[in-house]
Amino acid sequence: MQIKNGKYRIRNYNITDYKNYARLYSIAAVESKEEYLGISPKQIQLRSECSGNSFFQNLFLVEKNKEIIGSLFVVPERKIGRVILYCFINPFHRRKKIGDNLFTIGLKHARALSLSTAHVNVCKDNSTGIAFLDSLGFGYVRKYLEMEKSLVGAGEQVADLPAGFYYRCLQSGEEKKLAYLQNHSFQDSWGFNPNTADDVKLWICKTCGSPEDIILAFSGEKPVGYCWTLIDRKKRIGKIYMIGVKPAYRGNNLGKALLAKGLNYLAKKGIHTAVLTVDNENEPAKTLYNSVGFNVINTTLWFEKKIG
């Protein structure tokens, strides 16, 4: 797809764009106060290889004089009928109706996939972005908190499990077990899209991770909880990506123990700072994270539009 808007051209991502897109992605991460989300050209290449054709079909770029100045990544989640739109335009090229054109393309693409709801996530301080979404008919639906904790000199966290439970890392070939555990742990969570074994493999690949970054808690032979960590060794930042416990096993402090185990794992990998994201309405999780020293560093807002 190619659309021209004056001197600007909107087109799909291609395999030669990885360096320029990585540069734009890093600018976006800084502006959104999520510098730890910056990405290298090598990681962009890896994501495109892992995702196959979907990466090329769902990523739209805005080009001017061979420079990538904007992007819209359309992430379809067919099982729950929604699409997530990630949009960024270089500050020097804003207020030129580029965003309107990108969203027109993105929403049309989503409708063609028979999706009924569009979601967009923006920083709470981004008044321009919020006003733009309002003009397109998006309404506020949810708030999420970005939190961080220093691991420097923090010491080892107490990660003891109750009697009858034990830890081990995910092993290759167990992706189906993890997907099953995820789907049961988050079945009532807002915005959760059920996963398959292939989804788990894909995400490990896209994040340059490995199965050992995912810690499982077992009761006998059954996996009943997990802590999934992501690591940026160059920046010495680690993310507690997900912590989940099957509903039948809650109330045993498994979540607290898994969090401690995950933080210890990150510290042993030389990580200096741990970050995570939590739904503002998840009071038990917020209480847990506050209790071990996590502090809020940013707040993001989710907006929704019905498009079906």
Residues 38, 101, single domain; the answer is yes
Residues 101, 165, single domain; the answer is no
Residues 94, 167, single domain; the answer is no
299, pLDDT greater than 70: yes
35, pLDDT greater than 50: no
Residue after which a domain boundary falls, among 90, 115, 140: 115
- A 10 A CB-CB count for 210 gives 13
* pLDDT tens per residue, range 24-33: 888 877 766 5
Residue after which a domain boundary falls, among 61, 87, 115: 115
Residues 11, 91, single domain; the answer is yes
Question: Is position 287 within any domain?
Answer: no
Residues 88, 158, single domain; the answer is no
Question: Is position 147 within any domain?
Answer: no
Residues 160, 97, single domain; the answer is no
* pLDDT tens per residue, range 132-153: 999 999 999 999 999 999 999 8
Structural domain containing residue 203: 153-271
Q: How far apart are alpha carbons 274 and 230 in whole angstroms?
A: 10
Q: How far apart are alpha carbons 147 and 174 in whole angstroms?
A: 30
Question: Is position 306 within any domain?
Answer: no
pLDDT of residue 146: 95
As given in the structure block, the two tokens for residue 102 are 């990108």
Helix axes 41-51, 197-206, angle to 10 degrees: 160
Query: How many domains does the structure of the chain reveal?
Result: 2
pTM: 0.89
Residue 6 CA from chain centroid, whole number: 34
Mean pLDDT confidence for 7-34: 81
Question: Is position 282 within any domain?
Answer: no
Residues 168, 265, single domain; the answer is yes
Mean pLDDT confidence for 100-105: 95
In CATH, what number is assigned to the domain containing residue 9?
3.40.630.30
Residue after which a domain boundary falls, among 65, 86, 115: 115
Eight-class DSSP state of 97 = S
Residues 94, 203, single domain; the answer is no
Helices H / strands E in the chain, number of each: 9, 13
In sequence order, what E strands does the chain have?
2-5, 8-12, 59-64, 67-77, 82-89, 117-123, 139-150, 165-169, 214-219, 222-232, 237-245, 273-279, 295-306
Handedness of CA 166, 167, 172, 174 (dihedral sign): positive
* pLDDT tens per residue, range 36-61: 444 555 666 666 666 566 778 999 99
Question: Is position 184 within any domain?
Answer: yes
